Structure 1
Amino acid sequence: MSESAGNWCLIESDPGVFTELIREFGCEGVQVEELWSLDAESFANLEPVHGLIFLFKWVEDNDQRGSVVKDSRLNKIFFAKQVISNACATQAILSILLNSNHPDIKLGSTLTDFKEFCSSFDPYNKGLTLSNASEIRKVHNSFARQTLFELDTSNINKDEDVFHFIGYIPIDGHLYELDGLKEGPIDLGPVTPSQNWLDIVRPIIEKRMEKYSEGEVLFNLMALVSDRQLIYQRELDKIKNSGAEGADDSQSEIIRIKSLMEYDIAKKKRYKIENIRRKHNYLPFIVELLKMLGEQGQLMPLYEKAKQRALERRQQNSKQQNKMAVDES
């Protein structure tokens, strides 16, 4: 897919995409994990959690969840207005990375230079700077799914579902919602030293999810967490430094941690393979395959066979629907 200057492509909401996206920005020490539940245990297994990325179907939202920050805190919080389409995934990720202050997170030169360059800008000009950040845009667009054909989007139904990414993060003792479509960061309230910010944000996200009809899966939640390899290695070092390596319970714990390390390594290898497939252009292969089947006289028989199967499936579905209608009556 060619990249026109200034264009940002849609990318998939996937922890493997986001983890490699962050790596290709040059940032180290973090990865993205998908959350399937909002229970406390799911979050505890991922600590430390630096921020949450929430994807949802955009609907008109008149609920007042907090106050828009308009005071001097804007000088310390990185917040960029969304001034371009399709970039909200990267914008939500950067909202967390550029507001994080944790020793595990190493931003790298690309993100550090970007943050320093626009640190004194207002939210709109921060968004404008991001839209023109060619290195960040290039990495973002490299994760666009390859399509077989360029489609004319001028007649796309404007009533189709629109999805949007936002971020949640604690900054200087307050919980914030960072949504580029808002006028500024949303202050969701204080987080005291004795509180875990995740206990405060969970009911807020749950309330947003309740807006959707039962059975609709129109949202996705991911956590930006410290690289699991760093965490596991620290746990191993702690056991080693305690001098308890020989104890039976310590041996069991070492085996458990090493198993988790191996699982994480295998998962990241799978991410890499999946992303290579996402980026690969299969069109030349498909064209050559179709040409070869045509030359061998197999293309039309396969087409007719596929058409017949499609017809049979439609007839079967029609029979099942008619049966259900009779049963309900």
Structure 2
Amino acid sequence: MSDTAGWCLIESDPGVFTELIRELGVTGAQVEELWTLDNSLFDSIKPVHGLIFLFRWIGDDQPDGPIVRDSRIEKIFFAQQVINNACATQAILSVLFNCRHPSIELGSTLTEFKEFSQKFDANLKGLALSNSQKIRSVHNSFGRSGSIFEFDDSAKPKSKDEEAYHFVAIVPIDGRLYELDGLKEGPIDLGLIKPNTDWIEAAKPFIEKRINKYKEGEVHFNLMAVVTDRKLILERRLLALQTEDLDKDTKLAQENSLRMQIDDEDDKMKRYKIENARRKHNYLPLIVEILKLLAKDGKLVPLYERAKAKTLEREKQKMGKT
């Protein structure tokens, strides 16, 4: 998709989001998927700088707190969503632009954008984001390469029952918890974070409330966390271990454990690159050529008939079970 085109849908996946922010020039951060709200998982990925929550959008959904309209808005980077399909990247940037952790550096592209748009109101921030060719180009590079043909989405019939999904960010800022939803007028104040407590504990009730809106067995949400680069943390621990006063065996065991975890992080990043390369590759020309060869050899129709027969047989078996 070219820079002059719109914003494409991208997959809600930690590998996509991690590579996306790194291609934007961010260092010291990565994205982890959360499959539970247990403290043990959060403890293993600390520090957590913000949450990215994907959920099935309900049009009349009411916010869980008041919209911020006072002077606090000057300290919160909030952009309204003014274009379709941009909410994933917008939620990621909402976390990064409001993060003050020293381990995370935005890089020149995002630093320049933040400084350029800092004094804009929420709507102008959204317009600036939607018109950023660099950010849009990186975002669109993670869209699935689906076809050698171009389709006009506006010409597609829309079902009234078609489900829409939306990303929001949940972040701690100056001792309070906020939800940053580009479809709202401003940041949503979710309340005070109790002193000497992890802000994640304050966020859990709001996440659980959103999840509980769906029927049991339905999967209409996904939760991810923006965290400090795991390899960076492990390497720092390994370096600090050299100066600790431990017996030889204990130190060796801890060193080996840390090195194994570092290797796991390297393997994960390599896997992300492979998966993203496959997402971006257009396999349709290859499929078309295979179909042409099968047709030329007289194998295409028999294969189709066999597949059709198997499908009908499976449907009969399902009907029989019901």
Same fold (TM over 0.5): yes
* Counterpart-to-counterpart distance in 1, 2:59 and 2:126: 22
Gaps of 5+ in 1: 322-329
Q: 2:107 maps to which residue? A: 108
Equivalent position SS for 2:243: helix
Cα offsets for 1:282-306 (capped at 9, x unmatched): 1211111111112222212211211
Cα offsets for 1:245-279 (capped at 9, x unmatched): x5322222222111111111111111100000000
Cα offsets for 1:206-235 (capped at 9, x unmatched): 111111111111100000000111110111
Q: 1:216 maps to which residue? A: 218
Q: 1:326 maps to which residue? A: none
In the alignment, which of 191, 197, 200 is matched to residue 198 of structure 1? Answer: 200
Gap change, CA 1:230 and 1:20, over 3 Å in 2: same
Structure 1 residue 60: deviation in Å?
A: 3.9
Q: 1:234 maps to which residue? A: 236
Equivalent position SS for 1:167: strand
Q: 1:77 maps to which residue? A: 76
Q: 2:124 maps to which residue? A: 125
Structure 1 residue 3: deviation in Å?
A: 3.2
Give the partner amino acid of 1:318. M
When the two structures are aligned, how many residues end up with a matched partner? 319
Q: 1:303 maps to which residue? A: 304
* Contact kept in structure 2, 1:79 and 1:95, CA below 8 Å: yes
> TM-score w.r.t. structure 2 length?
0.95
* Counterpart-to-counterpart distance in 2, 1:23 and 1:260: 21
Structure 1 residue 150: deviation in Å?
A: 4.0
Equivalence map 1:112-261=2 (5 Å): 112-148=111-147, 149-151=149-151, 153=153, 154-244=156-246, 246-261=247-262
Moved more, 215-224 or 294-303: 294-303
* Contact kept in structure 2, 1:68 and 1:187, CA below 8 Å: yes
- Is 1:290 the equivalent of 2:291? yes
Structure 1 residue 191: deviation in Å?
A: 2.3
Equivalent position SS for 1:135: helix
Moved more, 149-158 or 253-262: 149-158
- Is 1:263 the equivalent of 2:264? yes
Give the partner amino acid of 2:164. V
Q: 1:5 maps to which residue? A: 4
Q: 2:32 maps to which residue? A: 33
Give the partner amino acid of 2:158. I
Gap change, CA 1:6 and 1:132, over 3 Å in 2: farther
> TM-score w.r.t. structure 1 length?
0.93
Q: CA RMSD in A?
A: 1.5
Moved more, 156-165 or 63-72: 63-72
After TM superposition, the runs of 4+ consecutive aligned structure 1 residues lying more than 6 A away are none
* Contact kept in structure 2, 1:6 and 1:132, CA below 8 Å: no
Moved more, 108-117 or 206-215: 206-215
* Counterpart-to-counterpart distance in 2, 1:239 and 1:24: 32
Equivalent position SS for 1:242: coil
Structure 1 residue 158: deviation in Å?
A: 3.2
* Counterpart-to-counterpart distance in 1, 2:145 and 2:288: 15
Structure 1 residue 38: deviation in Å?
A: 0.6
Cα offsets for 1:156-180 (capped at 9, x unmatched): 2132111000001111121111000
Structure 1 residue 6: deviation in Å?
A: 4.7
* Contact kept in structure 2, 1:79 and 1:126, CA below 8 Å: yes
Gap change, CA 1:274 and 1:231, over 3 Å in 2: same
